[in-house]
Amino acid sequence: ASPSASPSTLPSSGPSRTPTDLPSPVPESPRIFAGHPAFTEVLNVGYVEGAKANITMMSHTKSGMSIMTVVPNDVTQDATFGVSFRTPISDNRGLATITEHAIQAGSKTYPVKDPINQLQAGSLQTHLETWSESDRTSFTFASRNLKDFENSMAVMLDGIFFPLLGEADHEWIYRQEGWRLEIEDETSRLYISGNAYNRARASQMFPEEALDDFVHDRLFKEHTYGYNPRGLWNEILSGVREHMIEFYNSWYHPSNGRVFCYGAPEYVNACLDSVDEAVTRMLKDQANKTAETDGVSALEELGVSLPQDSKVGFKMLNTTNSVEERVPYPSFEETDDFRLAISWVLNDEAMSQRHEVAWYLIYEMLIGSATATIAKELETLGDDYIAKLNTDLQQWTMTMGVSGLPTEASAGEARTKIVNKLAEISQNGFDREAMAAALNKVEFKLRDLNSCDGSPQGVVMFKKVLRKWNYDLDPTLALNLMDEFQLLRTQLEDPDNVEGMEFILELMTKGLSDNTAQAIATIYPSAEMQSNVERNEIIWLNDSDQYWDKATGLEIMRETAELHRIQQQGDSAMDIATIPRLSPFDLPKEAFEIPTTIKEGVFDSDLTMLENLVPESNNIAYVDFTIDISNMAFKDTILLPLICRLLAEAGTERKSDVEIRQHIDLYTGGLTVEPLVEEVYEFQEDNGYKVDSGKHMITKILIRTSCFAEKGCAELFNLIKTLIYDSVIDERDKVINILQDIVDDLEDDIQQHGHVFTTRRIESRYTLPGFIREQWFGITQLYKARAALLEAEDDTKWDALGTRLLVAHDAIKRTHHSGLLLSITGDEKAISDLGGAVHMFVKDMLPASAQRTPFPDFGKVEHPWVINGNLAMNKEMENEDPFTAFLTPTLVNDVGRGGFLYQPGEHISGAHMAAVQYIGGFFLNEKIRFNLGASQAWAQLDLDSGVVIYQSEETPSIYSTLEIFRDATGWVQRQLDGHENLPVEAQAAIIGMVGKMDGSALQPNRVGHVALLQYLKQDTKEGRQAWRDEALKATKEDFMFFANRLAGWGGESLSAITNQGLLDQAHLKMENRTMTSCHLTGFKCPESTEAV
């Protein structure tokens, strides 16, 4: 083992020191933070190569609060603030999550109902996130504007240290964030609501959540990790407000917290100033309260000693026995999709860096991809593999298994295969090719500073360091794994050195094969799970007199009534005025622009290349490549999601599917292939955006990938060429497997992310590109993929389907090089290192154009799909009800409403976008998220189509949500009435809209993609600037014009993901117009057996 093999523990106090195994900071660097008088420097780490940043560990002198400051090499990245508290839970009442949200329901300085959202809707924040885990609760945000950063810190810290959740006149907060009893007006039916309750009900219907709950409950019995921070609905109902207050008072103390300050030195200083001010004020407030209670502090009264009492110990592996059970998951119907999953707890002491790296490698080699050893072993049994490595807590867990099993008996066979394969590997070792691919994947994981979900780099780092910091370990251990990785890699790649492989196999055998801390789940589909939960809730209500007396019940109803009064009353103008705001003068005059160099005719070819230079990419090059597919017949475009999967996974005549996917793992940081359709922007003479005619669009296949630039990347470009031109896409078994996978994935996605699909469904009714996107990525794709699967399995129909695939693939290969676009992104060295591979790709790898005629400019010429596409779209719209609800096993609703406001050729002003931000950020968020208890709600205006969509996620009532949607116009008019100028919140919405336009400092893995879209859509710097200027100049008249236009929007459509019972409740109140219901188990909506 290397010197870093054992975890380092952070000292709680003591003089500054610099570890001998880390490089010292470079004194002349202007990006090194110099310190702060209110903080005692504890551990001066200096420059951390793995983070590409200077890091200093500090302690707040007065409180002992731990502080980490990070000044990255790339100071253009979003400044980030994070704070986390150890909040161990001891039951499933959801106290961690309830308290997390209650903190955001008003504070002493900012006494509005939702100050965090009030600020966010009118700020330049690029990220805001709060979350609870079993042993900690965390808050973070990011911004690119210093004043906005300071405002956000002030509001967040005041909420954390001075919340109103415990005040006598704020009992309603618990009824809002926890649970409450409601009475339905029309029927006098008693029902349960509340944000935590609704979230718990919704999440228990997700298959992945059902598995996670089972694993942690069984493997961590009577331990913090065995409980759910979100809570279980029936245990949430046993909670009372006093539990929440005690939970807050026990854990939300500076001595129990960790603060993260990331950004340029001026942001770090602002962060430390704000923390010092808020903590000092809290300590003074607590000292005054202690003096009033005869010197007994709140913590002493609770019997809590911090930070000792918040520490979570390990669940010892030898105290946990193997458990095997049947676990239900909600399904559309009782089908043949059974699943088998085996989970292990991997450690009962702090992970060393060597062990961490080893487990990353073991995971990748066993189950990290479709080519991994266990995944290949299971591929003949089911449709897809199950894989998860949970590293967020101090005790890691690994899960592997298979989904899509035809019978429950197949689960036993899958288990036997896993156990036997693990034993075989323990004896014989791993395949060398699999190991090489895993090494490349892990190196990417360690070197790539970006996130896969678009979160700012500071947020990614904050989450990463908490995995060590929360347990009093040196947080930089989570950032500096490359040395340990390289040491282990050297040992594994040396055929004469057995030390590395022996270490890996010994660790795997101990952690998996010989480990009794394992949970085996046979997961079966249950069509009754939803109704069973609803039935149990009714039983609970009927038996409620066993849980409380009449006086308690009346008190709950009184607090609920007070909540309704608060909701209806709204915040006073005086309270709203307390929220710190930005003015247009605080914003930069010009929007951020990607520094892109456009190179046409690259190396004397017809190919165009975009070169995007970023300050720091760790010498990783990011590649986006598109191929024009406009010469494909429109009738075959529905097959494009299948074709793209086949291109990436099917293999070639020379290389099998396994070899191709191993090649991808070995030479890239991952590779995706997907279809792309985008409208081409149209502009007025003054550069203002116009609604396009629907005739001008681009259609591409998009390949996204990355590579280590110092290795040349020739293999990456050879892969791109191979996938496009050489893939065998008519291999029947592979087609069947991928179609089944598409169906399974869409069923799960619709259930968990219904709002995405309702939005796509609404967009599909108004423009051809929107229609095509829904065909590819929406509910229609589920229907069509299911129909295609039947064709592929039918001997009499397979030849026709296979022929269509070949014809479509031929159209892709016949593309002219003018339809190829390459976008490369990286730092200066990465771009330079990539040059040779790009030259080889263009000059030597790409076949000559089979199509003689270059593609026209589709911004000027009608796209070839327009005629047949519009015919298909009009036919479907004639058959479909614009008011449609899709039924799935869920306990909440995702509801959307849309309509068009603008005709083709009309100008969409940036001022109107600001009005949409006003409606979504203030009205819909308050009425639907705050009042109804939905997860979130928002409004959007599509610049391409002129369509406005109101959307809600996990709302308890369809009817109430639609009523709020329909009141949006009246609300805007009421807010503006009597004001000479825009009210404060409307002015804030303008700032919020500009913040969305300017966006986050794009991470290197997204820069090239955004630049590519701007180029394809023929967007212009002048157009973006004009739009931004219009938003900043928005007036009351602009907002009123938009509101009046909303009152007469055309082509109204409604879409919902719901269940039959919830839809029936809505229909009882929807007197004039109900929604057509469609099951997601068929082939079309309305029902039909029509094939692709």
Q: Cα separation of 260 and 589, whole Å?
A: 30
Pairing of strands 397-405, 384-390: antiparallel
pLDDT for 786 beyond 90: yes
Confidence class for position 1089, pLDDT limits 50, 70, 90: very low
Q: Cα separation of 1041 and 502, whole Å?
A: 72
What pLDDT score does 20 carry?
A: 30
pLDDT for 13 beyond 80: no
Could you read off the pLDDT of 948-1004 as tens digits, one per residue?
A: 999 999 999 999 999 999 999 999 999 999 889 999 999 999 999 999 888 888 889
* 149 contacts: CB under 8 Å, gap ≥ 6: 79, 81, 143, 263, 267, 270, 271
* Phi/psi of residue 487, nearest 5 degrees: -65, -45
What pLDDT score does 41 carry?
A: 77
Query: Can you name the residues that pair with 826 across neighbouring β-strands?
Result: 613
Nearest to 181 by CA among 168, 196, 200, 194: 194
Could you read off the pLDDT of 232-285 as tens digits, one per residue?
A: 999 999 999 999 999 999 999 999 999 999 999 999 999 999 999 999 999 999
* Phi/psi of residue 778, nearest 5 degrees: -115, -160
What pLDDT score does 156 carry?
A: 97
Confidence class for position 9, pLDDT limits 50, 70, 90: very low
Q: Cα separation of 803 and 824, whole Å?
A: 35
Q: Cα separation of 6 and 10, whole Å?
A: 13
Q: From its phi and psi, is residue 999 left (phi > 0), alpha (psi between -120 and 50) or beta?
A: left
Q: Could you tell me if 224 and 135 are in contact, meaning their C-beta atoms sit under 8 angstroms apart? A: yes
Share of the chain above pLDDT 70, in %: 96
Distances (CA, A) of 850 to 608, 640, 818, 822, 853: 18, 21, 12, 19, 9
> Prior bond to 1086 cis, omega within 30?
yes
What pLDDT score does 316 carry?
A: 95
The Cα angle at residue 948 between residues 942 and 950, in degrees rounded to 5: 120
Q: Whose structure tokens read 């929360």?
A: 470
DSSP codes, 272-290: HHHHHHHHHHHHHHHHHHH
Q: Could you tell me if 952 and 1069 are in contact, meaning their C-beta atoms sit under 8 angstroms apart? A: no
Q: Cα separation of 739 and 756, whole Å?
A: 21
Q: Which residue has the higher pLDDT, 1059 or 592?
A: 1059
User: What average pLDDT score do residues 794-812 get?
Assistant: 96
H-helix or E-strand containing 55? strand 53-60
Q: Helices 353-367 and 499-508: crossing angle, nearest 10°?
A: 80
Nearest to 1088 by CA among 787, 792, 710: 787
Could you read off the pLDDT of 347-390 as tens digits, one per residue?
A: 999 999 999 999 999 999 999 998 899 999 998 998 889 999 99
Q: Which residue has the higher pLDDT, 131 or 1071?
A: 131
Q: From its phi and psi, is residue 601 left (phi > 0), alpha (psi between -120 and 50) or beta?
A: left
Nearest to 470 by CA among 90, 110, 84: 84
What pLDDT score does 433 carry?
A: 86
Coil, strand or helix: which one is 673? strand
What pLDDT score does 232 carry?
A: 94
Confidence class for position 16, pLDDT limits 50, 70, 90: very low
Q: Could you tell me if 258 and 466 are in contact, meaning their C-beta atoms sit under 8 angstroms apart? A: yes
Lowest mean pLDDT: which of 440-444, 461-465, 525-529?
Answer: 525-529
Could you read off the pLDDT of 514-555 as tens digits, one per residue?
A: 999 999 999 998 888 888 888 888 899 888 888 888 888 889
Confidence class for position 334, pLDDT limits 50, 70, 90: low
> Please, what is the average pLDDT of the chain?
91
Nearest to 184 by CA among 453, 560, 687: 560
Could you read off the pLDDT of 635-660 as tens digits, one per residue?
A: 999 999 999 999 999 999 999 999 99
Could you read off the pLDDT of 843-865 as tens digits, one per residue?
A: 999 999 888 899 999 999 999 99
Copy the structure tokens of residue 324: 């095997």
Query: Can you name the residues that pair with 70 across neighbouring β-strands?
Result: 55, 262
Q: Cα separation of 768 and 238, whole Å?
A: 52
Q: Could you tell me if 57 and 43 are in contact, meaning their C-beta atoms sit under 8 angstroms apart? A: yes
What pLDDT score does 17 carry?
A: 29
Q: Which residue has the higher pLDDT, 263 or 449?
A: 263
Gap between the terminal Cα atoms of the chain: 58
Chain centroid to CA 267? 26
Confidence class for position 34, pLDDT limits 50, 70, 90: low
Chain centroid to CA 744? 20
Could you read off the pLDDT of 704-762 as tens digits, one per residue?
A: 999 999 998 999 999 999 999 999 999 999 999 999 999 989 998 998 899 999 999 99
Q: Cα separation of 107 and 154, whole Å?
A: 11
* 77 contacts: CB under 8 Å, gap ≥ 6: 263, 456, 457, 458, 1001, 1003
Q: Could you tell me if 255 and 66 are in contact, meaning their C-beta atoms sit under 8 angstroms apart? A: no
For residues 445-465, one letter each, b for 16 or more C-beta atoms within 10 angstroms of the residue's C-beta and e for the rest, the string is: ebbbbbbeeebbbbbbbbbbb
The Cα angle at residue 66 between residues 91 and 18, in degrees rounded to 5: 135
Q: Could you tell me if 982 and 1040 are in contact, meaning their C-beta atoms sit under 8 angstroms apart? A: no
- Show the 3-state SS of 359-409: HHHHHHHHHCCCCCHHHHHHCCCCCEEEEEEECCCCCCEEEEEEEEECCCH
Q: Whose structure tokens read 């805001």?
A: 128
Nearest to 1032 by CA among 993, 976, 983: 993
* Phi/psi of residue 581, nearest 5 degrees: -125, 160
Confidence class for position 23, pLDDT limits 50, 70, 90: very low
